[in-house]
Structure 1
Amino acid sequence: MKSSRRSRHRSRVLGAIVASAALALTGVAGAPVAGAQSSVPGVDEVVSSPNMKHLANVPKQAPFNTENAIGTDIAFKDNHAIVGNYDGFVIYDIANPAKPSIVSQVLCPGSQNDVSVSGDLLFLSTDSSRSDDSCSSVSQPASDPASWEGIKVFDISDLTNPRYVSAVETDCGSHTHTLVPNKNKKSVLLYISSYSPAADLPNCQPPHDKVSIVEVPVKNPEKAALVATPVLFPDGGNAGGPNPVPDLPNRSATTGCHDLTAFPEKDLMAGACMGDGVLIDIKKPLEPKVVERVQDNENFAFWHSATFNNAGTKVIFTDELGGGGLATCNEKVGANRGADGIYDIVGKKKEPKLEFKSYFKISRHQSDTENCVAHNGSLIPVPGKDIMVQAWYQGGMSVWDFTDSANPHEIGFFERGPVSDTEQITGGSWSSYYYNGHIYSSDIQKGLDVVDLQDPRTDAAKKVEFDEFNPQTQPVYKKKHS
């Protein structure tokens, strides 16, 4: 989810969508999958294609049961799902996917609180200005030079009792972060994505065309430290500008990156950097180098996230038009905005090129009270196929096939009706990921959902298992992993 200034995260997320009322709801367009609904479901009504079976929901529980306690990203460890929340994080036991249960909850406010895991360590992104780096901090203006935001480190060797270990402050905070294991295996590197500098923010000064890299020693996590701040766009990024469609948000200028996805086996990273989509060479981990860069000033407003296919020959970039708050899944916005852009990686290994092939967007129109746009997803590991599951906020989750880059198509979906049919309340699936045979979704307001995808086209994926999975650190899928 996008926010324009560090000190405005919560108000931006929950209340910045007045323009959405102008976006009209119309009938379903395109060719939906078999079993798709022909009208908007009722409030909280669950609907799905026949091949998507809803196994379980665990509602948010106190102190995370308020509208402001927004559920965010997910990481996985030893059949546990760890779900970030604007107020901290929650650990679920998912050994029995049909009966997930809460193991522990950690109250540690500071949006977005995106998470990743490595062994007994958990990392938590804080992207709102706080009075200090503790979990008892309070909100404080980003214009105050004493304010803090950055990355926190927890020991989760005891999943029932996580222990706060250390923190590292980073410029402009940590909106998201991407874990890359260090080749010496003695530490992990965290590539911190942050953006939106301003002259009146002492800890977030323009230009901000860089990432921050934090190194965390595995055996001494209390010694986590900032080790590099490489500039990705020395000549500046996309300057941004008006959206070609009236009444839609402007195209974002590039002032940092929103999300980075690593493919460690290829020493490659894909960056969604607000106005730019990039490929980054990370052979020298502390000296990442942009080797390819594309823009889409006609249809993309905010480059949000990236996903490689398993062969590392394609990248899916998402456009989070409206920052996750607008109702963009409708006829007015159309099929090419607030969508995925599919790019093939072509050319020589040392000089890769991103070649645009097509767009993908869910065809089920949502109501004008439902925030809906392309968001976080992961591959479904089917050998020889490129299939992924993806969150669309109140558009639910979609399973779609992009094996033919020029002709992607949906093969399954799950969604709820609007949180409200009279007012816009930010809700829906923030992240939808495939892990060890099932789909897990972090719903902003409804908690954790578990879905069983029952389809012969994806059955082979059930043979792939991981003890640990961070979706923004893509592995190469094989039948068994430890």
Structure 2
Amino acid sequence: MLRRNPRTHRGRLGIAATAAGLLAALLTATPAGAVPGPGDIPEKKISSSAQAEVEAAIESGEIPGVDEIVHSDNIEHVSNTPKDLLPGTNSDLAFQGDYAFSGNYDGFKIFDIKNPKKPKVVAQVLCPGSQNDISVSGDLLFLSTDSSRSDDSCNSTTQPVTEKSSWEGMKIFDISDIRNPQYVASVETACGSHTHTLVPDRDDVYVYVSSYSPNAAYPDCQPPHDGISVIKVPTDAPETAAIVNFPVLFPGEGELGGGNPGSPVNPGVSRTTGCHDITALPSRKIAAGACMGDGILLDISDPANPKVIEQVQDNVNFAFWHSATFNTDADKVVFTDELGGGGMATCNAEIGPNRGANGIYDLVGKGRNLELRFAGYYKIPRHQAETENCVAHNGSIVPVRGKDIMVQSWYQGGVSVWDFTDSAHPKEIAYFERGPLPNGAGGGTWSTYWYNGYLYSNDMAKGFDVLKLNDRRTNQANGVHLKGLNAQTQPEYFKR
């Protein structure tokens, strides 16, 4: 049974404002998931009276206190491992066997999670580069660099993107010795690598690199940049990894290319200049892409040559198409809208339930004649304070036959477990969150994924959390065992 959270019903803290200092911090020292675009809410400084209102709400119990943990009765907080030698922003997660791999803007960390109640750090690798989106396949670990660096080494320093010699792209590590990862290869990619997606193909792994926001002043990130970089990695010779294709996903004329033109044609919508994230479903040979102003489906039957087979837009409520997740039956796709780039307070009454939310699309048709049909929105019902950056972010399916259930991060909105079996009427069934960070700081949980009976969450500021979901609607998932999980390479949970 859910504990009643007064924020579901409160109205006085639903203010659509964010401190200028919060946004600046998120985009520099602790960057958010995406660079804010035209869908951003105009930033305002929090007035002393507004800050006092938040403090009064904490004092009255209307919202949790600073750093206070609250959760529904059906979630247990199993453990927390604070950040240690890598003080940067925690980002994405990947899993293999009894290990969890945690991305961090300063590098990555490897946890032994054989006992989820007591995760053990077995390796920490210092290798700065923003995002450090992470995936694992066999003995290889892949790391995205989406900031302009002086070179491709782990000792690089920041360097202006206008410098031709600057580097950003993919890094590859050998983790055959799990306690001593070795850097083995790098591949520079146009506009860097914000995120990446692994597509296995026999003895090779293809890497789809998503990046965006070109500029004529950037030598290695020229407009229109309306596609993705495809890297081929021979698993027995990863040092030979190289770009094999740059498929144009949004063909069009001129510097803008194709895709959503964004503002001012579609006010408040990001112009499509690449993709933010792609989720592959290798068992069906399809992928779903979240590409700034567009949502797409891809045919990946030829991994080196992905082709767009469906394209949708939502120019009313979606500002920035951020990520995608298939349900277990592959007849639905959940797209997330990262309104405000992850650095603003959007989980409040003023913004409402449809912006900064998930869009649920039913997938109809057969073969390559697939269509995406909008069915409904989902947003957490727990309104957050104006100091809390909150918006839909990374999550995964909780594998239950006959049900569509997802766990998902919402930055300072915490972790939400929600049921979208009825696409038009999704509902939250469990949650975990902390109260506001001190002094209006930005943070919260970046990624939360189900893996072999537990929920693993990477909090940008607080570290690595392990949660246990105890609910009759989801307990069936405890019988599912995966050998590994990269959320952007979605497994087939149940054999068809």
When the two structures are superposed, what TM-score results if normalisation uses the length of structure 2? 0.88
Aligned CA distance change for structure 1 residues 20 and 415 (closer, same or farther; 3 Å): farther
Alignment equivalent of 1:226, drawn from 227, 233, 243: 243
Instruction: Please list, as runs of the form range in 1=range in 2, the aligned pairs for 1:343-382 lying within 5 A after superposition.
Output: 343-382=361-400
- Give the corresponding residue for 1:415: 433
Cα deviation 1:386-420 (Å, max 9, x = unaligned): 00100000000000000111110110000001112
Matched to 1:19, the amino acid is E
Shift of 1:13: 2.6
- 1:101 equivalenced with 2:120 (yes/no): yes
Distance 1:328 1:70 in 2: 21
SS in 2 for 1:266: coil
Q: Does the CA-based 8 Å contact 2:141-2:172 persist in structure 1?
A: yes
Distance 1:335 1:294 in 2: 20
Distance 1:40 1:102 in 2: 33
Instruction: Please list, as runs of the form range in 1=range in 2, the aligned pairs for 1:2-401 lying within 5 A after superposition.
Output: 10=28, 13=31, 19=43, 21=45, 39-62=62-85, 64-65=86-87, 69-182=88-201, 185-235=202-252, 236-241=258-263, 250-401=268-419
Matched to 2:377, the amino acid is Y
Cα deviation 1:427-450 (Å, max 9, x = unaligned): 111000000000000000011000
Distance 2:403 2:166 in 1: 47
Q: Does the CA-based 8 Å contact 2:30-2:89 persist in structure 1?
A: no
SS in 2 for 1:19: coil
Distance 2:63 2:153 in 1: 43
Aligned CA distance change for structure 1 residues 470 and 122 (closer, same or farther; 3 Å): same
- Give the corresponding residue for 1:30: none
Aligned CA distance change for structure 1 residues 102 and 155 (closer, same or farther; 3 Å): same
Moved over 6 A (4+): 14-18, 22-25
> Which segment is superposed worse, 110-119 or 285-294?
285-294
Matched to 2:245, the amino acid is A
Aligned CA distance change for structure 1 residues 51 and 203 (closer, same or farther; 3 Å): same
Distance 2:323 2:62 in 1: 29
Cα deviation 1:328-367 (Å, max 9, x = unaligned): 0001110000000000011343211110000000010111
> How many residues are matched?
451
Matched to 1:201, the amino acid is Y
- Give the corresponding residue for 2:462: 446
When the two structures are superposed, what TM-score results if normalisation uses the length of structure 1? 0.90
Matched to 1:418, the amino acid is P
Distance 1:239 1:462 in 2: 45
Distance 2:250 2:215 in 1: 17
Shift of 1:101: 1.4
Shift of 1:20: 5.4
Q: Does the CA-based 8 Å contact 2:109-2:121 persist in structure 1?
A: yes
Shift of 1:478: 2.9
Distance 2:42 2:431 in 1: 28
Q: Does the CA-based 8 Å contact 2:286-2:301 persist in structure 1?
A: yes
Q: Which runs of 5+ in 1 are unaligned?
A: 1-7, 28-36
Q: Does the CA-based 8 Å contact 1:20-1:327 persist in structure 2?
A: no
Shift of 1:241: 1.4
Q: Which runs of 5+ in 2 are unaligned?
A: 1-25, 54-59, 253-257
Matched to 2:301, the amino acid is K
Q: Does the CA-based 8 Å contact 1:243-1:301 persist in structure 2?
A: no
Aligned CA distance change for structure 1 residues 366 and 243 (closer, same or farther; 3 Å): farther
- Percent identity over the alignment is 60
- Give the corresponding residue for 1:473: 489
Matched to 2:466, the amino acid is V
Cα deviation 1:66-110 (Å, max 9, x = unaligned): xxx000000001111101000100101110011111111000000
